[in-house]
Chains A and B, each alone.
Chain A
Amino acid sequence: MRLAVHKFASCDGCQLSVLDCEDELLTIVEAVEIAYFPEASSRMDDGPWDCSLVEGSITTAHDAERIQEVRRKSKRLVTIGACATAGGIQALRNLGDVEAWRAVVYARPEYVATLATSTAIADHVPVDFELRGCPVDKHQLLEVLLAMLHDRRPAIPRESVCADCRRAGQVCVTVAKGVPCLGPATQAGCGALCPGYHRGCYGCFGPSDHPNAPALSRVWQAHGADRDTIVAALRTFNTAAPAFDAEAKRLEEDR
């Protein structure tokens, strides 16, 4: 399998998760040829690739072009991380005045060519599989790679964090401590990491396949969170994910 790893607007954290799979990748080095991975290697073989991992969101006109080319040259395209699957934290720009910010932040704003929005890869090209997380979980990443290698469907459930939290025997922080948690509306995959450290989930894997965000807002309110707190919790790494965005907007309009 000829593998490529591409970067768009992102922090590189997910690519580091790929590097973190090094030991495991070495055992399959005969089966996987890393043909293009600028972050890790000077080898930058052109496509076609059997599988492309794509990190990052689309924030420039140039990247909007480039992703088309990556898609054309990739048999399978897998997006990794909150940026690629939902636009990332930089999608906060979608709510603001990008022109004004650019003028304030950069000494020579005219050098910065940027779009007004940060959008997920799937908004631009067909995606074969989306792997969530900020950053992605190493074990899930390996599972996806192995699934691609063995031509099977990745075993990545889209249920909520609560399921993993309960299966791990963790004590629910909302019930036992009154701590608000985004777990019930967030997709599993991290192994319910945060509740395991006695804090609420902050939603870095984005919405599950069946979130009831309005009901969860009411649970947060019952535990003392005000609207601004809930909106801030929804507007982080997956702010542009439809279920989180819609609930934040609903709360803001209700104000």
Chain B
Amino acid sequence: MARALPITHLQALLDRLGADGRTVVGPVARDGAVVLEPVRIVDELAQGWRDEQAPGRYRLVPGEPRVFGALLGPQSPKTWLYPAKLTLFRAERDGASFRTTSPDRPPRLALLGLRACDLAAIRLQDRVLLGSGVEDPAYASRRREVLLVAVQCHRSAETCFCASMDTGPEVSSGYDLRLTEVIDERGHRLVVEAGSEAGRAIAADLPLVDVPHDDDAASRQAAEARAGQSKSLRTEGLRERLLDALRGPHWDEVATRCLGCAGCTMVCPTCFCTAVADVTDATGAAERVRRWDSCFHTEFTHVHGGPTRAELAARYRQWLTHKLATWHDQFGTSGCVGCGRCTTWCPAGIDLVAEAERAATAERRTE
């Protein structure tokens, strides 16, 4: 029988997740968007908001009293598991030599409010950062400790296309806890299902009540989200179609609209590129710092003599074809989970799905 947490007991969930020193990170409304930030008390959560999304446009508008009413903001699990800026180590002089010290212990995290596509993005990051031969220690240490609390989507945004990427909207695996938020004549509650031992242990400590009528709440809401999803990426043969179009005319056209701002790669939950720099302070101590980088930056491909992708058209092509085509060669899967963040958060409103379709069908340049 389904078990649910009455919404009045939501604090118990936050407290239990935060037990043994974990930082609970959940959806918070800030500066006009829902972002993922540390939360201690229920009042900090983005309750009562709904997100409207379109290419280049995001608005938070008042909605039902849902705690998880806004779907996706500009941040993703990547923000917390693969931080934008990270000190890899510090080095100090020690006589004629030097001594290195490791960075501080990474925080133990509980990520609350993740969606099906977020879990899919974590699976992809696992493949890249843990499963491709060399483990990334910074990611691994965060990933091993994290608790993943997912929420079943009850609707889709205009920019979502997870159904066509086979990554959602059903939250089907990879979570410690799955929550389904239900508001009806019987009240306001979160149906709680455990997907791991850790999840079961947490659920056992929560003041849950039996709710026989909620057995299919998750699948019902997923079906509604699926029915409301209008965007889809035609994935069949997409890799081949894009690679055939490498010399097509489309890239020059999109480069007249693209700002080269790298926003899409920064908000994409699966983009993993970083730059590493050594910096020294006034005393001569040094730090090796890693930051998110992007194939949209010209310095990204700087070799002696200049960048290998000097043209914006070449950089846009790298992003789109890496994500949707050559990821398959590199990691055996598409690099896109269909979350739509790149499209919503592009200041120029460039729509990944539309561009992929146009690029793949544009006439080849005749030379």
Contacts and interface: CB of A to CB of B under 8 A. Distances in A.
A61 B299 CA distance: 37
A184 B259 contact: yes
Contacts of B60: 176
Contact of B299 (A25, A146, A166, A209): A209
A91 B179 CA distance: 60
A120 interface: no
Given A160-B260, A183-B261, A212-B260, A155 B32 contact: no
B262 A150 contact: no
Interface string B250-294: 000001111111110011000000010111111110000001101
Contacts of B73: 171
Given A28-B282, A155-B279, A172 B263 contact: yes
A215 B258 contact: yes
B299 A158 contact: yes
Nearest to A23: B282
B296 to A, nearest CB: 8
B292 A171 contact: no
A157 B292 CA distance: 12
Interface in B1-60: 30-33, 35, 56-60
A84 B196 CA distance: 61
B120 to A, nearest CB: 21
A142 to B, nearest CB: 7
Contacts of A155: 277-279
A251 interface: no
Contact of B262 (A158, A159, A216): A159
A170 B31 contact: yes
Contacts of A177: 32
A219 interface: yes
A27 B280 CA distance: 13
Contact of B283 (A27, A160, A216, A218): A27
Contacts, number: 130
A72 interface: no
B59 A216 contact: no
Interface stretch (B93-101, B220-228, B340-348): B340-348
A212 B33 contact: no
B298 interface: yes
Interface string A157-200: 11110110011111110111110010111000000000000100
Interface string A68-105: 00000000000000000000000000000000000000
A169 B262 contact: no
B232 interface: no
A155 B348 CA distance: 29
B91 to A, nearest CB: 13
B259 A212 contact: yes
A143 interface: yes
B282 A27 contact: yes
B75 A215 contact: no
Given A24-B282, A27-B283, A184 B261 contact: yes
A210 interface: yes
Contacts of B297: 157, 159, 163, 210
B299 A219 contact: no
Contact of A171 (B32, B262, B298, B299): B32
A40 B261 CA distance: 39
Nearest to A167: B84
Given A157-B299, A162-B262, A167-B84, 17 more contacts: A142-B282, A158-B299, A162-B263, A163-B262, A166-B292, A169-B35, A169-B79, A171-B30, A172-B345, A172-B347, A175-B345, A178-B57, A184-B260, A210-B260, A212-B260, A215-B257, A218-B348
Interface of A: 24-25, 27-28, 142-143, 146-147, 150, 152, 155, 157-160, 162-163, 166-172, 174-178, 181, 183-185, 198, 209-212, 214-216, 218-219, 222
29 contacts: A28-B283, A146-B282, A147-B280, A150-B280, A155-B277, A160-B261, A163-B297, A166-B263, A166-B267, A167-B84, A169-B35, A169-B84, A171-B32, A171-B74, A172-B347, A175-B56, A175-B346, A176-B31, A176-B32, A184-B263, A184-B348, A198-B31, A210-B296, A210-B297, A212-B312, A214-B256, A215-B258, A215-B348, A219-B349
